[in-house]
Structure 1
């Protein structure tokens, strides 16, 4: 049985893939080729799809043997372990894990056969064991079994040989789809025909308590040279005689990356494979693959009554960390902090404006974390008293007293003075200085006043720090901030981040992603120009039907339906919504039932925008927009719009509900009385008569209404766009997962020429704990650019500044056009929209739906990056298709797998185009001479390159004007769906593929054949 959390995780990763493309529905398996050689094969879709698909001339390269890992910890790090093909887990120790999670990795269950020795003598063996032990594990989602302890059984109970053979035969007969790994080499001649692989004892160290097994305790002993040679010979024999993949399970006494790497390299040097891990196998080990840790823990005290969305660590630090390729997790220093291990965490980043809430516990946790080898980058304050012993333990010396005069700069690193020059303030002095006797210690900013000298920023063996105000200098008078230190450079050095390909959510096939999403606010508002019509009608005619780019459109049920604010308008509004949702370029979304303004009040928490005058929210000024004031006019200061002939001269006041039929149909979604988590107060959004707040009614209820009353058949709601301030509690995010939709909104990307700072660029989203994640909008909406919809109403044209500044010098964000329905009510706001669209569509963009972008963000969080010798292996869900390489060189295409090509990255480096969710490549030094995809205006799938590298084929599918552009194509010819492409071309060849299909991705098969 799975825990509730395990079921939740499975549902969250299964339901949200309802619109994935065919190529991501891949299965992987092993087949016996000619009875001799194991080869890796990939099949796409159903057998019918395979039979009807064209067969390209390009012959795929054979795949290497599977990458195998062993992990017996209770908390399974799925994002990291999915770098491997097969992972052996111990179901007896696993907690909160779902083996049915839809990832490419196959999970195998360890079964200790030494515990079955007595049962083997019973009359019911092996059928009873298969029924009671193996079948339930297979039903839980495990794809096979490690039959562990075979060597121990052979030594202690050799008479069990026939029973073991009978078990393997029965498993193979009754569960032919299950992979069987032998845990040891005993009786291999008998068992081999039914096996998928073998796990042998280690080559360097072995466990003293269960040699050849996989227990969790016991010591280690060194393997003798003679035994090592014999075991290496056995591994070669398994490969040559049985054609089975095999690994030696090796150990280091504790987690030490250098030890694990050296241990695995012993096998690599001998031409075999091992997997080195800790004695308990509770850390991610190293075999042929070395998984790169991609998590960073942000630690900051979160004051009660505040939202994690607006914590400085999230506002300022998360974006640079994301850009560097790392997943951000948030920890509240008021609460017990989690255990952080170096196998999955690249570091810890802290933000303290004073002493930690529990300074003793903080100091203990920090010491333990640093002692485990996890580096720490500290901003503003250390969070504890820096007395002499504490300072010494951190490679620092204390500086007694306080400076008596003005501070001056003695020395500084070039990374200091990034957006603002340092302005020392004696009130912020912390008297510490780098100990010159500590190796690798370096001051980044040294200040002095007379004889008083201290280091305000430094790199140290454990990480680094930058004291206030030399990280972020905040200017509350103008609601802006500036980076004094270059955050990415500092984090790279403090955390010693390695060069590696990092997942990128901004780009696909060299094109900047472009999204358009519309919040439903003001759907009932009328235009201020003839013809008098509703906002949605004006937007449909003036914007959406004109540009026909993928657009995610939402409505607020309480504004449109008969159960909402304006029941007499519902007969007019609902048909308009149906017309909009029926358009092929429109993706259906919900903007909730009653449009909660302040989500944290729904759980009894005050949000930041109640306590301070802060616009760092999604749309905090909704109260001035039409639907939110109870008025149909988009601007309360504007003259009233002409009324409908049957309507009173003034905008109608809220009317009583005319019917409760739909609410009664949703009683299961709104229990009475509601659960405690569902209610904080009666009115948090639109003041809808007779409505009592419910998370289920807001989310699942509004989705049900749209799906059954407004959306065309087969076109359900894909996205929930958060309303109000966007500072949603975890329960709200969980409700979207349970409803099977994605979520987005919030964030504060509002960088402009008058606020040209990275502090005004939001991260990908915010971690809500328990594997829940709120995805932020790529950019802010017109509410902010128009001074909270007070004018100028053409202000959204300044979004072009944001799009430019998030593309250069570095591409930090996709191009995200985000606005509300009420932008359709004014001439100026419509003109601004046209200006933004016209500019955007002159850029090298790839338009996608909001759901496509959201899936890329979620894929980013679970993306695995690993070394394989001099090559890199990257693996995700298949939604994110670009990795960015910041160093010199380009991918070496001759031996790359599922790498279609590359293009220069904004700000330097290279965008590497992935053709699937799993790829392998090395970085080469010289210019690439083989043909490759320079860019493509669509998604690539079914990619193949011939063994000589000169024949390429792929399916290309795009929503808008798809194309593919080849480099090194001067001596090439091409076909599209079997038809020759005519016309002259040069080395750089762009092939246009028609208008595209915004309703669904329709692939066209392109083949390029090149001469020498």
Structure 2
């Protein structure tokens, strides 16, 4: 990592908003971000227009992520210095190095030396260009003053600097350049650059004393004049980079606003530029860093960790995705406040790994990162860490001697019996600013708190988080939603939502291929595939994703003699217009983590003497055969030519390794399955609601919103009618919080018995009474995956910038934020308030700008539709033109605030009700709906 110096001052960094120089006019300045850290937060940086990075820290995949929303990456280039850490295949001749810059372990070069100019362009600029960079940030432009401070020597260096910039532009005409200062040559190079940056306009950092502070008035005035000349005389973005302490986010925001009010483009961060700062926008962190102890987690699988099983879902509801790290591995060295909403832990026992974790946690907390520590903290909260947190750890407290004295709304969420467990650890509060949410007293009249929050985060310790009556009966004592909100001090902001679109709850239907080969307990004993086709699929003509297992029905599987009978049934199912084609693999792995490449099928046995996969003769396990091979078989033998496999529905325990996710991604297959959401009224606990996503490496596994009929029927051992209880799950995951879309998820063996089939009809008939937006599993997989990556940023003008929202199209507004201001917003189609929340519909164009107001919208807008927006044009507050399309069902639309408007829609039956307009179509789409309103 290297940073450069300008005349003993720190480097200034900039990132801007347009890829074109002419777009960087003062009237529409670019948003700019600088990040030189090792672990590049692409999900945040990609929301900016210009992104300055150290290219050595960015791999090819990260580069693509930086550009995903149209931003322009700029690679750092030290023009006047040779960084001590930077390697080169062809070292420069040392004769061109004039002096050292000890502050940054670099050597200052003679810019006039032809060897330096050649080496700079061939060894640095060319590789950056070939790596895809079309922008450079030119730094150390006046380092020559360390050996040529003024006079003719300085002028020769300046002439050389002008020549270097001209040479770069001559060899790479399309490259964009930002200068760090270089004011003395600006009159000669302004046509070759797209912006100029300088550090420390209002707030700076002294590298000698390592102290932050205000910039002296004279220095402010001098730099202000130069930046104003950049803006006014040359019509270039003038970027001011200021420095504030990492833990003082409010000061960073104030400083950014001050810079912007002065007419300059702000970037406010720390001098090392390894923290996400604040610019014209503040990219809001939508991820939480979750640490787990892989060595002490079953099979080393994060899906079995408490934090994933119990905390990831509340975090997702609050709008935050999980990013998991093994606490025993090296942890991020960059400053994480501003990148993550916080760090979350839930260890089962004390850590025994490397001792780096406590100092790392203390360092990050001191720099503003909040922590939510649940269960066992893993390390003693003592010494410097305990002192910072304001607690004194007390071990060995006997449960029998403890009495709950007081608690507030964070406790007693689903129940609150005092636990009768072995001796426990609790905490005495030594910081009066801490809030105790549960106070315990002992027989010596001492006071303790196992659940508390403070300025650093929150602590909820074992055994007061849960009450557990049995392995399957677990209830929250702690309110996880409220605790995480308070511990992490989550801000009021629009919440990305993957359950709803256009005011309607998503509904998908999916069939796992198991038992396609089985016979139904019905007259004539038809194959389950036949009965499912006639009794369900041809009756309920809604988007349905259907899979088969090649090893069950294919000629290379377990039943080759039945293949000629089963394959035609599958072809008939896949030919239905409302059926999406999916694979359920070749050999149906039951325990993915127990299978290794080239294992002979059926050899491995679990404790239950159950095969790890189908015992297909002579088959040796291969991930590629499971995914690509089964897809090729279905495409070749079963699917219509224009409808290839689009989805893989994971099998068994549905915990595919990262290599399997990579293969699916390579093939363009969406993925679904996993999770265990099965909350019912007999066990109405949020501990039975699983997360939406399982991140592995750079891939995402998408869990099924609700579990299949196995859980409700005790693995089909009875009651066979049990799947009707999925209705309870739909209801309990809808109110008071809409946590999940609706997923009718079952196997072909639900057609094997009359009771199971009747339950399936009951579920369908119930869902048909709900206000839903039906879609395929592949479409919702796209929604869920994009939810994780959608960018939400606060603008300095009070609005919200949304990036990457073409699949995921809904924001949920906290009541305190009010309503969308439709006249000021862009890319916003409407809003609907229901019992589960206030849902803002986006138009699906990818990007949107949201402003809010305290008043309900009075201009016409979309309140509800069972289809998705395909086009949207808003020419004025009272004039709309748009189109929608539903999947396989007649389109229904409700428009609000149309009491003074004319609505036209060819083919629609239009009715008015309470100032709203209802449109009902016979078809599944509406090519044109127009709204024209009289002026108010």
Q: Could you tell me the TM-score, scaled by structure 2's length? A: 0.85
Residue 817 of structure 1 corresponds to 744
Residue 144 of structure 1 corresponds to 135
The answer to whether the 8 A contact 1:309-1:766 is kept is yes
CA distance in 1, matches of 2:448, 2:719: 49
Residue 74 of structure 1 corresponds to 38
CA distance in 2, matches of 1:592, 1:834: 27
> Does 2:867 correspond to 1:938?
yes
CA distance in 2, matches of 1:72, 1:333: 24
- Helix, strand or coil: the match of 1:397? strand
Residue 526 of structure 1 corresponds to 519
* Structure 1 residue 567: Cα displacement: 0.9
* Structure 1 residue 488: Cα displacement: 0.7
Deviations 1:368-395 (A, max 9, x none): 3322322222222232345687644431
CA distance in 1, matches of 2:827, 2:53: 28
Residue 652 of structure 1 corresponds to none
Deviations 1:778-822 (A, max 9, x none): 001011111101122222111111001000110000011111122
* Structure 1 residue 737: Cα displacement: 2.5
The answer to whether the 8 A contact 1:247-1:272 is kept is yes
Residue 337 of structure 2 corresponds to 342
Give the direction of change, closer, same or farther, for the CA distance of 1:709–1:112 in structure 2 (3 Å limit): farther
Residue 296 of structure 1 corresponds to 288
Deviations 1:324-369 (A, max 9, x none): 1111123334555455711212222222333223485443333233
Residue 899 of structure 1 corresponds to 828
Residue 484 of structure 2 corresponds to 491
CA distance in 2, matches of 1:787, 1:431: 40
Residue 8 of structure 2 corresponds to none
Q: Could you tell me the TM-score, scaled by structure 1's length? A: 0.79
* Structure 1 residue 892: Cα displacement: 1.6
Of residues 226, 229, 233 in structure 1, which corresponds to 2:221? 229
- Helix, strand or coil: the match of 1:876? strand
CA distance in 1, matches of 2:166, 2:922: 60
Size of the aligned set, in residue pairs, is 870
CA distance in 2, matches of 1:218, 1:490: 36
> Does 2:904 correspond to 1:1006?
no
- Helix, strand or coil: the match of 2:750? helix
Of residues 293, 316, 319 in structure 2, which corresponds to 1:325? 319
CA distance in 2, matches of 1:237, 1:939: 49
1:405-804 alignment, distance < 5 Å: 405-425=400-420, 427-435=422-430, 437-449=431-443, 451-476=445-470, 479-530=472-523, 532-603=525-596, 684-768=612-696, 770-804=697-731
Of residues 83, 88, 95 in structure 1, which corresponds to 2:52? 88
* Structure 1 residue 595: Cα displacement: 0.5
> Does 2:320 correspond to 1:356?
no
Give the direction of change, closer, same or farther, for the CA distance of 1:159–1:191 in structure 2 (3 Å limit): closer
CA distance in 1, matches of 2:625, 2:565: 23
* Structure 1 residue 401: Cα displacement: 6.8
CA distance in 2, matches of 1:563, 1:511: 44
The answer to whether the 8 A contact 1:399-1:453 is kept is no
Residue 972 of structure 1 corresponds to 901
Give the direction of change, closer, same or farther, for the CA distance of 1:152–1:716 in structure 2 (3 Å limit): farther
Of residues 59, 68, 76 in structure 2, which corresponds to 1:110? 76
* Structure 1 residue 859: Cα displacement: 1.4
Q: Which has the higher contact order (CA 8 A, sep 6+)?
A: 1
Residue 201 of structure 2 corresponds to 203
- Helix, strand or coil: the match of 2:903? strand
- Helix, strand or coil: the match of 2:760? helix
* Structure 1 residue 579: Cα displacement: 2.5
Deviates more, 1:141-150 or 1:546-555: 141-150
Residue 88 of structure 2 corresponds to none
* Structure 1 residue 452: Cα displacement: 4.2
Residue 754 of structure 2 corresponds to 827
Residue 254 of structure 2 corresponds to 262
Give the direction of change, closer, same or farther, for the CA distance of 1:231–1:836 in structure 2 (3 Å limit): same
> Does 2:335 correspond to 1:371?
no
Deviations 1:483-515 (A, max 9, x none): 011111111111222111121111111111111
> Does 2:274 correspond to 1:278?
no
Residue 99 of structure 2 corresponds to none
* Aligned-residue RMSD, C-alpha: 3.5
Deviates more, 1:518-527 or 1:902-911: 902-911
Deviations 1:440-486 (A, max 9, x none): 44343334345243222112332222222221222325x12100111
The answer to whether the 8 A contact 1:80-1:862 is kept is no
Residue 9 of structure 2 corresponds to none
The answer to whether the 8 A contact 1:168-1:191 is kept is no
Give the direction of change, closer, same or farther, for the CA distance of 1:353–1:196 in structure 2 (3 Å limit): same
CA distance in 2, matches of 1:428, 1:909: 45
Give the direction of change, closer, same or farther, for the CA distance of 1:192–1:949 in structure 2 (3 Å limit): farther
* Structure 1 residue 285: Cα displacement: 1.5
Residue 100 of structure 1 corresponds to 64
- Helix, strand or coil: the match of 1:313? helix
The answer to whether the 8 A contact 2:380-2:393 is kept is no
The answer to whether the 8 A contact 1:218-1:279 is kept is no
- Helix, strand or coil: the match of 1:70? strand
* Structure 1 residue 236: Cα displacement: 4.6
- Helix, strand or coil: the match of 2:442? strand
CA distance in 2, matches of 1:399, 1:274: 47
Q: Which runs of 5+ in 1 are unaligned?
A: 1-26, 40-63, 211-216, 614-620, 624-682, 998-1002
Residue 864 of structure 1 corresponds to 791
CA distance in 1, matches of 2:400, 2:117: 86
The answer to whether the 8 A contact 1:356-1:362 is kept is no
Deviates more, 1:267-276 or 1:523-532: 523-532
Deviates more, 1:982-991 or 1:275-284: 982-991
Give the direction of change, closer, same or farther, for the CA distance of 1:546–1:355 in structure 2 (3 Å limit): same
- Helix, strand or coil: the match of 2:626? helix
Give the direction of change, closer, same or farther, for the CA distance of 1:518–1:226 in structure 2 (3 Å limit): same
CA distance in 2, matches of 1:955, 1:30: 33
Residue 101 of structure 2 corresponds to none
Q: Which runs of 5+ in 2 are unaligned?
A: 1-16, 83-108
- Helix, strand or coil: the match of 2:63? coil
Give the direction of change, closer, same or farther, for the CA distance of 1:277–1:781 in structure 2 (3 Å limit): same
Deviations 1:398-440 (A, max 9, x none): 55874585533211112211111232336243242222x4324
- Helix, strand or coil: the match of 1:427? coil
Give the direction of change, closer, same or farther, for the CA distance of 1:760–1:118 in structure 2 (3 Å limit): same
* Structure 1 residue 161: Cα displacement: 5.8
The answer to whether the 8 A contact 1:884-1:905 is kept is no
* Structure 1 residue 708: Cα displacement: 2.6
